[in-house]
A and B are shown apart, each in its own frame.
Chain A
């Protein structure tokens, strides 16, 4: 199974590209995709607790189910700013 993952901001810089294609026999949830990404790009380790995950342009979590062809995106929290 192949999944395309879009990366943004600091995560994009750390991995070194804005889109990665991940391959694994089976990826059922966002967690499987994240585990695959971590295995391939160990430099993202330690980032995990402060990342947001999206499936088809909607916020998701690690347990969200995915299927082939879904658009995944992973990125840091958006830029916030003080009130």
Chain B
């Protein structure tokens, strides 16, 4: 299995079209000084408000998405004492239960890692230009965010 490409800082930002391997990413990012490795997986749910979902399709503005993912990682490292950050987003067709976005944050202590990771996923959902289209048995819709939420960090 391939490994994730680490930047000079050791952090990982990738957009992929196949399965995200969070166990691998976490192992790659965790270092001896870490006391916590926080792993978040955003997965494809089988329904939206009771309506049965068949599958999702993700589309992205890839160069800007990568740039925004890096920005989020840099913000994390400025605001919290985190050691390493990994953000990987998948595009294309995803089936129920598959991971669409994975985030790994490592830190000496767990509270820092939890807080930073929470901020990371909330911000990914706000400023990273990736959209999902949800396919139901009887139709399809683009899931769009709330315009009133400013996309500026």
A interface residues (Cβ-Cβ under 8 A, vs B): 6, 8-10, 12-13, 49-50, 52, 54, 57, 59, 73, 75-81, 83
Task: Say which residue of B67, B132, B143, B151 sits within 8 Å of A52 (CB atoms).
Answer: B151
Give A54 to B61 CA distance when docked, in angstroms. Answer: 11
List 5 A-B pairs, Cβ < 8 Å.
Answer: A52-B129, A76-B142, A76-B144, A78-B126, A79-B145
Is A81 touching B125 in the complex (CB atoms < 8 A)?
Answer: yes
Tell me the count of chain B residues lying within 8 A, CB to CB, of chain A.
Answer: 26
Q: Please give the distance in Å from A19's CB to the nearest CB on chain B.
A: 11
| Segment 94-151 of B: residues with Cβ below 8 Å from A | 122, 125-133, 142-147, 149, 151
B interface residues (Cβ-Cβ under 8 A, vs A): 42, 59-61, 63-64, 67, 122, 125-133, 142-147, 149, 151-152
Q: Which residues of B contact A6 (CB under 8 A)?
A: 61
Say what secondary structure dominates the interface of chain A. mixed
